[in-house]
């Protein structure tokens, strides 16, 4: 049963502006590292002596550990204090960023990226939880608005700033500066955090689902390794055999955890509800296509079309800005079309943007410039914003209020896990087609693969769209 800690009615605490700045800067830090690596893929690969499959793992490793530990990070903050966990996450993120920046081989980079995901998962849940616990009324709404805006703009900021840093080649550091820049940022966050962030925790802290986290991480690992490395190391394909027993064990552990009053990583009771499952499928389609698209586009632009890191980063300005605009417009659109209709519209825009990108690469070839990509990637960003907000509401609209926190964590876990899978599978399809086809056809094949899940999800969401009741005559 959940353990209850005695409380003595502590005085209310309020988050100051410097404290809020430290929190949202930490949020930006973790989200930037999802995208900042993409603008330097070609140079990282050349420096570490790895191919496209190795680069897939560099990106996906971060998402794997982030997804597996995100729920655990939130529960640790509830139990041991959110400020403490946030600062531990910042210190750890700083150290492992230095490891990534100093890496001279793929193994060191993968270890660093995996640990970045671990510490990112520790610090990230504390941000919104601290805002909810320390602010109320207009101040709370303003802080949540800033948090949402950072989430929407983090992709474009990461691509543009990362592209500029790598292209500037300050002190001859090249792509390594994308990791070393985290060090002074972490130092600033640490100082402001110690001084300005109040410590909060939950009066009721749940047990950590250690076995569930371990099995979920193993499941993702046994899926990612054969997908990413199967062509180079066929022996890794044997990991696929482990997926069914791990999946069964995971379901058994989660069912038992829920039955004994615990808080499982993915509550089985939620997964038995058809509309919640549809929402999870919709969320999976969002991040699967989004992450895969960003990876294959950035890699193709740099490796095949001669884009510099800065040009590659600038190409995604339209994606980030349209995502931000779409997030603001989605509420009014949902009122007109419903969540289901908005998701289908978003899926159509996303699919169109991905396929139009493939068409432009085929048509323009080496004469393609970042202005072309800005336009079509904007469609992907707008569609993704519509899909994301609608899928979240579809997943949570059929969940009781007392299960909302668990469901929200489960949705985030699915999102981050599919980020890793989308990156890995999109990159592998692109790399696998290159020996037999030119870059344009390889990109088209990977794009076709990435739109499959949004097409399926849109069909299911449309099929299950609630029908208005007929009026009786």
Kindly state whether residue 3 falls inside one of the protein's structural domains: no
Q: Write down the pTM of the prediction.
A: 0.83
For helices 52-80 and 17-35, the axis angle rounded to 10 degrees is: 150
Q: How many distinct structural domains can be found in the chain?
A: 3
Final residue belonging to a domain, choices 262, 295, 327? 262
On whether both 55 and 74 belong to a single domain, the answer is yes
Q: Is residue 412, in this structure, part of any structural domain at all?
A: yes
CATH number of 124's domain: 1.20.1250.20
182 & 226 share domain = no
Binned at pLDDT 50, 70 and 90, residue 119 comes out as: very high
Look up the domain containing 330 and give its range.
266-463
The pLDDT of residue 72 is 82
pLDDT of 215 higher than 90: no
pLDDT beyond 80 at 470? no
pLDDT at 5 (0 to 100): 46
Residue with tokens 């339209």: 318
The answer to whether residue 470 sits within a structural domain is no
User: Are 185 and 223 in a shared domain?
Assistant: no
Nearest to 216 by CA among 415, 413, 425: 413
* 236 and 199 both lie in a single domain: no
Residues 385 and 454 in one domain: yes
Q: Report the alpha-carbon distance of residue 33 to residue 383 in Å, rounded.
A: 23
227, 262, 297 — which closes off a domain? 262
Is 218 in the same domain as 205?
no
Per-residue pLDDT tens over the stretch 222-236: 887 777 666 667 777
In tens, the pLDDT along 382-428 reads: 998 899 888 888 877 777 665 666 677 777 778 878 888 888 889 88
For residues 247 and 300, state if they share a domain: no
| Residue 471 clears pLDDT 60, i.e. is over it | no
């Amino acid at each position: 049963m959940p353990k209850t800690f005695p409380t003595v009615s502590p005085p209310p605490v309020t988050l100051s502006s410097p404290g809020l700045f430290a929190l949202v800067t930490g949020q930006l830090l973790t989200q930037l590292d999802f995208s900042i690596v993409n603008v330097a893929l070609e140079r990282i690969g050349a420096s570490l002596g790895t191919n496209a499959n190795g680069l897939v793992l560099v990106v996906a490793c971060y998402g794997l550990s982030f997804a597996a530990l995100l729920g655990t990070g939130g529960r640790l903050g509830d139990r041991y204090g959110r400020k403490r966990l946030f600062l531990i996450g910042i210190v750890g993120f700083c150290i492992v960023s230095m490891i990534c920046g100093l890496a001279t081989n793929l193994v060191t980079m993968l270890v660093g990226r995996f640990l970045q995901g671990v510490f990112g998962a520790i610090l990230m849940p504390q941000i919104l939880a601290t805002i909810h616990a320390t602010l109320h009324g207009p101040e709370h709404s303003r802080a949540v608005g800033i948090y949402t805006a950072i989430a929407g703009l983090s992709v474009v900021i990461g691509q543009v700033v990362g592209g500029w840093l790598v292209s500037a080649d300050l002190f001859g550091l090249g792509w390594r500066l994308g990791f070393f820049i985290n060090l002074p940022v972490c130092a600033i966050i640490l100082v402001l955090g110690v001084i300005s962030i109040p410590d909060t925790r939950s009066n009721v802290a749940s047990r950590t689902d250690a076995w569930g986290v371990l099995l979920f991480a193993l499941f993702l690992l046994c899926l990612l390794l054969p997908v990413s490395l199967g062509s180079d190391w066929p022996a890794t394909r044997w990991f696929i055999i482990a997926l069914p027993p791990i999946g069964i064990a995971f379901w058994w552990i989660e069912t038992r955890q829920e039955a004994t009053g615990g808080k499982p990583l993915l509550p089985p009771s939620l997964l038995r509800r058809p509309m919640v499952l549809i929402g999870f499928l919709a969320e999976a389609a969002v991040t699967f296509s989004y992450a895969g698209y960003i990876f294959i586009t950035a890699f193709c632009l740099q490796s095949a079309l001669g884009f510099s890191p800065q040009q590659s980063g600038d190409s995604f300005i339209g994606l980030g800005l349209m995502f931000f605009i779409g997030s603001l417009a989605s509420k009014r659109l949902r009122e007109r079309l419903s969540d289901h209709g908005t998701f289908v519209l978003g899926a159509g825009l996303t699919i169109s943007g991905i396929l139009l990108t493939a068409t432009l690469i085929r048509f323009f070839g080496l004469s393609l410039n970042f202005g072309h990509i800005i336009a079509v990637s904007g469609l992907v960003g707008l569609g993704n914003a519509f899909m994301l907000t609608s899928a979240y509401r579809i997943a949570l609209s059929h969940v009781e209020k007392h299960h909302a926190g668990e469901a929200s964590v489960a949705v985030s876990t699915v999102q981050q896990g599919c980020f890793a899978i989308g990156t890995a599978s999109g990159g592998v399809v692109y790399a696998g087609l290159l020996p037999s086809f030119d870059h344009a056809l390889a990109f088209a094949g990977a794009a076709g693969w990435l739109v499959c899940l949004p097409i399926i999800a849109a069909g299911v969401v449309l099929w299950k769209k609630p029908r208005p009741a007929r009026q009786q005559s």
